[in-house]
């Protein structure tokens, strides 16, 4: 999928869900394929409303069955790392964090790179449900078959410092 196509699909999903984006916000929609070139399987689309020295607010858009690869937000300078709360707005999200593994997970691991997924404590988020991920916690997430929109509220986001378990990922 081309970047412009993904960007328009992201805007369409947000607007269909009732989100209002200014023209400037629409221009700032980010497409993250993590250097893997398989966006529809492993990737993420997002719009950052605010990211400052105190907090960050974003919308994360996942296409059907799309996975954001496993990563953590490590300590930086005097911070413990990013703490984030995911609130599902539309669709269903399978979120995996450190903890006791689920007997069977609902998500489908991507065929390529599946060895880089190591945490399987499953949290399923439906619209209106939320979960807070502590700093420096390995996690990954996937949309169900209809795609998903997740609001992220967090401490300051410094994505360039994220540590992915897949060594092939590039920001």
Q: pLDDT digits over 100-138, tens only?
A: 999 999 999 999 999 999 999 999 999 999 999 999 999
Structure tokens, 102: 């689920």
Q: In sequence order, what are the beta bridge partners of 79?
A: 76
Please give the Cα distance from 12 to 31 (Å, whole number): 14
In the chain, pLDDT over 70 holds for what percent of residues? 100
Could you tell me the pTM of the whole model? 0.95
Q: For all residues of the chain together, what is the average pLDDT?
A: 96
Inside any domain, residue 80:
yes
Contacts of 15 (CB under 8 A, 6+ apart): 21
Question: Domain for residue 166, yes or no?
Answer: no
Structural domain includes residue 26:
yes
> Is 165 within a domain?
no
pLDDT of 71 reads: 98
pLDDT bracket for residue 78 (50, 70, 90): confident
Task: Give me the domain span that covers residue 95.
Answer: 3-155
Does residue 103 sit within a domain? yes
Cβ atoms of 2 and 10 closer than 8 Å: no
The total of structural domains in the chain comes to 1
Inside any domain, residue 168: no
Phi/psi of residue 22, nearest 5 degrees = -70, 165
For residue 160, is it within any domain? no
What CATH number did the domain enclosing 19 receive?
2.60.120.10
Burial class of residue 77, CB neighbours in 10 A (0-12, 13-18, 19+): exposed
d(CA 73, CA 128): 24
Residue 48: its H or E element: strand 44-51
In a domain, 169, yes or no: no
Q: Is the pLDDT of residue 171 over 80?
A: no
Q: What is the pLDDT of residue 170?
A: 87
Query: Is there a contact between 169 and 159 (Cβ–Cβ < 8 Å)?
Result: no
């Amino acid at each position: 999928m081309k970047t412009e196509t993904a960007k328009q699909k992201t805007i369409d999903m947000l607007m269909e869900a009732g989100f209002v984006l200014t023209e400037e916000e629409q221009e700032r929609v980010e497409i993250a394929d993590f250097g893997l070139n398989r966006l529809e399987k492993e990737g993420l689309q997002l719009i950052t409303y605010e990211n400052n020295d105190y907090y960050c607010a974003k919308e994360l858009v996942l296409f059907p069955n799309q996975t954001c690869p496993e990563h953590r937000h490590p300590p930086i300078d005097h911070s413990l790392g990013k703490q984030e709360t995911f609130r599902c707005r539309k669709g269903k999200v399978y979120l995996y964090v450190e903890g006791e593994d689920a007997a069977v997970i609902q998500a489908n691991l991507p065929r390529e790179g599946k060895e880089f997924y190591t945490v399987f404590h499953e949290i399923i988020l439906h619209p209106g449900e939320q979960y807070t991920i502590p700093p420096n916690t390995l996690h990954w997430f996937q949309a169900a078959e209809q795609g998903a929109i997740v609001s992220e509220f967090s401490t300051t986001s410094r994505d360039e410092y994220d540590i992915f378990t897949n060594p092939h990922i590039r920001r």
